[in-house]
Chains A and B, each alone.
Chain A
Amino acid sequence: MSLVTMNINGHEVKAENREPILKSIRAMGIKVPTLCHMDGLEPYGVCRMCVVQVKHGKRTKLVTSCNFPAAEGLEIQTDTEEVLQHRRMMAELLLARSPEVKKVQEIAASLGITKSRFKVAETSDCILCGLCVRVCDEIVGASALGFIGRGKDRVVGTPWYVNTDSCIACGACTYVCPTGAMQMETLTKERWRRELSGKERICRYARMGLISNKVCPNNFECATCEVDQQLFDEFGTHPILALKPGLHQHPKQVGHFSLIEDRSYFQGHTWAKTSKEHTRVGVDDFAQKVIGGISRVAFRAEPGDVVHRGDPALNVSNNGHRATMLFPISGKIIHINPALEDDPSLVNEDCYDRGWLYTMKPTNSYEDKSTLINPDEADQWTQDESDHLFSILTDSKSAALSDGGELLHNFSRNLEKKDWERITNSFFSGGELS
């Protein structure tokens, strides 16, 4: 990244090229009000409270600083009369829509506005900042929420206003909502016990994979829950905002297989992803596709066990074919993924996220780093493995490579025993046909 020089309120400032100018402005200690901005989310520019005046070349204009990219020679003014007038107008409009919301009242008051001239037919606590929609999409990765309607009819909701399976009830949307419009719904205690089975009362942190398993006895009233308090204390924020399971790690495609760049890979087609607290391991897309429709998994280690790289981690079977996947790193097992025992096909559906296997405390992260395949080399490695796989699959007399076509789903079901053994021996760790 190259540095550019800009001028903010008469001071020269260096900033990274194309980085949003709000960052540089705030770094100078200048207060800019925002409602729709949150660090870690893509800028959105809808509340328009962060407008500043930018002069580039001969043109001067008002822009939203949260999403305006830094460039060489920008002259930025944050407190001209025009800027303040614009902010006052936005505050008045917001105050008319959401007169009861404390945050809006505060921002309006800081601009000298206490009463709005505008009248609206229906007030709402939701200011349509989109933080809940974006956090659900970008950080949680669930995309359960969206905007419905347009213009004055725009609201936040789930598709067709019905309960959605995509929601993991993590509560991140209620946590980031600046106005309190987004709330968790709770049932009455009686309905809670009577109508929901134990499976439906799984604690939200168990569904996020942070704790092994817990049935909530508390009507999902997390505010009075001990576990909730412990995890908030541990992470210092909503745990899912610290872990960011969905943060922009869209898999990239290498031939027939996908890879995610935020983790390292093991020769036996398992991955390890390190965060501040622990390392999570799972199987990669290559393994998932080659093994096919996984019907059963058996964990080979339990929480508390100490394992070594290359130890057996998981037995998987696909209606007859079996394979054993290996641990990519050495360490102590903290959790196993409880969801897999109920639904082993999660490994096929989402091998890089919801289909994880273990969380571990690594014994030697330095050694792990030097032995695993890092994301830069993973593309080439996957391409080589793909070519190797096809040369095995097509080996009647000698290997052949082809161009074109998609892998057939669950193709390994039709493989003969000797081919399956060759594949598991070459790519995983040996397997058998039952």
Chain B
Amino acid sequence: MRPQELPSKLRIVSLGNTPQNAEERAYSAIQSCFGLNCELLSPEPPPEFALDVLRGQCNSLEILDWLESRFPQPDQWIFGITDVDLAIPVLTFVFGEARLGGRSAVISTFRLHEEFYGRPADTLMLLSRIEKEAIHEVGHMMGLTHCLDRNCVMYPSNSLSQTDVKSIKLCPDCRSNLYS
């Protein structure tokens, strides 16, 4: 499902505290990969409204709905970055979620930290994972579905190791799908 038309602007907003430079890195990654006009917004509060108390995780679908109602301009896309753990009802967790061909996406840095896996902090790894997840989710907003190429940024990663394996680039097939 392809978007009706490209947005005049993609607005990036952090929900609660996020790692230092996360928005800036997402901004430059999205801009250089898709050539979209991006804008950084001032931070919003953490998405407590979406918290599923039993699971201790926030429902990413509710966050997408909230983002769309909070920033309703139809010609602008909205991209959220949060540090809370995200999930949808059928999955154990998600790194990110986006409306396919829609105007909202959100990523979580919760499971991108090395510390989450009991290893020493690594800012460079964290930022490169944020870039990959940002491009992956914006790819969905641009109408791309998942790709079978392990190196393509649109490869669905079920675990962090798969995120680390995939590159930050779109494979030639996805790139040609993007502009066809």
Can you name 27 A-B residue pairings with CB atoms under 8 Å?
A255-B146, A255-B156, A379-B148, A386-B156, A387-B145, A390-B90, A393-B89, A396-B61, A398-B1, A400-B97, A400-B99, A401-B140, A401-B146, A402-B88, A402-B96, A403-B96, A403-B97, A403-B136, A404-B91, A404-B94, A404-B95, A404-B163, A405-B88, A405-B93, A405-B94, A406-B91, A407-B92
Which A-B residue pairs are the 8 nearest by beta carbons?
A404-B95, A405-B91, A402-B94, A411-B90, A402-B97, A405-B93, A387-B145, A403-B95
| A144 → chain B closest CB, angstroms | 31
Nearest neighbor of A406 in chain B, beta-carbon distance:
B92
In the assembled complex, B111 has its CB within 8 A of some CB on chain A: yes
Binding site for B on A (CB under 8 A): 254-256, 379-380, 383-384, 386-387, 390-391, 393-394, 396-408, 411, 414
Do A404 and B158 have beta carbons less than 8 Å apart?
yes
Do B92 and A403 have beta carbons less than 8 Å apart?
no
Do B92 and A405 have beta carbons less than 8 Å apart?
yes
Tell me, in angstroms, the Cα distance from A414 to B158 when the chains sit together. Answer: 22
Nearest neighbor of B107 in chain A, beta-carbon distance:
A403
Do A405 and B158 have beta carbons less than 8 Å apart?
yes
Binding site for A on B (CB under 8 A): 1, 60-61, 64-65, 68, 87-102, 111, 133, 136-137, 140, 145-148, 156-159, 163
Do B91 and A402 have beta carbons less than 8 Å apart?
yes
Tell me, in angstroms, the Cα distance from A293 to B140 when the chains sit together. Answer: 31
Do B90 and A404 have beta carbons less than 8 Å apart?
no
Do A400 and B158 have beta carbons less than 8 Å apart?
no
Nearest neighbor of A414 in chain B, beta-carbon distance:
B89
Do A404 and B100 have beta carbons less than 8 Å apart?
no
Tell me, in angstroms, the Cα distance from A397 to B93 when the chains sit together. Answer: 21
Do B94 and A403 have beta carbons less than 8 Å apart?
yes
Tell me, in angstroms, the Cα distance from A280 to B54 when the chains sit together. Answer: 43
Q: A406 contacts which chain B residues (CB < 8 A)?
A: 91-92, 158
Selected contact of B87 from candidates A256, A397, A403, A405, CB within 8 Å: A405
Nearest neighbor of B64 in chain A, beta-carbon distance:
A400
Do A408 and B157 have beta carbons less than 8 Å apart?
no
Q: A403-B157, A406-B92, A407-B90 are in contact. Are A384 and B98 (CB under 8 A)?
A: no
Do B158 and A255 have beta carbons less than 8 Å apart?
yes
Q: B145 contacts which chain A residues (CB < 8 A)?
A: 383-384, 387, 401
Q: A401 contacts which chain B residues (CB < 8 A)?
A: 97-98, 100, 140, 145-146
Q: A407 contacts which chain B residues (CB < 8 A)?
A: 90-92
Do B146 and A399 have beta carbons less than 8 Å apart?
no
| B138 → chain A closest CB, angstroms | 12
Tell me, in angstroms, the Cα distance from A384 to B111 when the chains sit together. Answer: 26
Nearest neighbor of B93 in chain A, beta-carbon distance:
A405
| B147 → chain A closest CB, angstroms | 8
Q: A255 contacts which chain B residues (CB < 8 A)?
A: 146, 156, 158
- Excluding A394-B61, A404-B157, 11 further A-B contacts by CB distance (< 8 Å) are A391-B100, A394-B88, A397-B68, A399-B100, A403-B94, A403-B95, A404-B95, A405-B87, A405-B158, A406-B158, A407-B91
Tell me, in angstroms, the Cα distance from A411 to B87 when the chains sit together. Answer: 13
Tell me, in angstroms, the Cα distance from A399 to B93 when the chains sit together. Answer: 18
Do B148 and A380 have beta carbons less than 8 Å apart?
yes
Q: A398-B102, A411-B89 are in contact. Are A404 and B146 (CB under 8 A)?
A: no
Do B140 and A383 have beta carbons less than 8 Å apart?
no
Q: B97 contacts which chain A residues (CB < 8 A)?
A: 394, 400-403
Q: B90 contacts which chain A residues (CB < 8 A)?
A: 390, 393, 407-408, 411
Tell me, in angstroms, the Cα distance from A390 to B60 when the chains sit together. Answer: 13
Nearest neighbor of B158 in chain A, beta-carbon distance:
A406
Nearest neighbor of A389 in chain B, beta-carbon distance:
B90
Q: B87 contacts which chain A residues (CB < 8 A)?
A: 405
Selected contact of B146 from candidates A387, A396, A397, A405, CB within 8 Å: A387
Tell me, in angstroms, the Cα distance from A394 to B104 when the chains sit together. Answer: 14
Do B89 and A403 have beta carbons less than 8 Å apart?
no
Do B99 and A399 have beta carbons less than 8 Å apart?
yes
Selected contact of B93 from candidates A383, A387, A390, A404, CB within 8 Å: A404
Tell me, in angstroms, the Cα distance from A402 to B158 when the chains sit together. Answer: 10
Q: A383 contacts which chain B residues (CB < 8 A)?
A: 145-148, 156
| Among A255, A380, A396, A400, residue most surrounded by chain B Cβ atoms (within 10 Å) | A400
Q: A399-B100, A403-B157 are in contact. Are A408 and B146 (CB under 8 A)?
A: no
Nearest neighbor of A255 in chain B, beta-carbon distance:
B156
Tell me, in angstroms, the Cα distance from A341 to B163 when the chains sit together. Answer: 42
Do B1 and A399 have beta carbons less than 8 Å apart?
yes
Nearest neighbor of B147 in chain A, beta-carbon distance:
A383
Tell me, in angstroms, the Cα distance from A379 to B101 when the chains sit together. Answer: 23
Q: A255-B156, A411-B89 are in contact. Are A398 and B100 (CB under 8 A)?
A: yes
Nearest neighbor of A395 in chain B, beta-carbon distance:
B61
Do A402 and B1 have beta carbons less than 8 Å apart?
no
| Among B97, B136, B156, B163, residue most surrounded by chain A Cβ atoms (within 10 Å) | B156
Nearest neighbor of B166 in chain A, beta-carbon distance:
A403
Tell me, in angstroms, the Cα distance from A394 to B97 when the chains sit together. Answer: 10
Q: A396 contacts which chain B residues (CB < 8 A)?
A: 61, 65
Nearest neighbor of A290 in chain B, beta-carbon distance:
B90
Do B98 and A408 have beta carbons less than 8 Å apart?
no
Q: A380 contacts which chain B residues (CB < 8 A)?
A: 148
Do A397 and B148 have beta carbons less than 8 Å apart?
no
Q: A397-B65, A398-B100 are in contact. Are A386 and B94 (CB under 8 A)?
A: no
Tell me, in angstroms, the Cα distance from A406 to B90 when the chains sit together. Answer: 8
Tell me, in angstroms, the Cα distance from A386 to B87 when the chains sit together. Answer: 17
Tell me, in angstroms, the Cα distance from A403 to B148 when the chains sit together. Answer: 13
| B76 → chain A closest CB, angstroms | 17
Tell me, in angstroms, the Cα distance from A256 to B60 when the chains sit together. Answer: 19
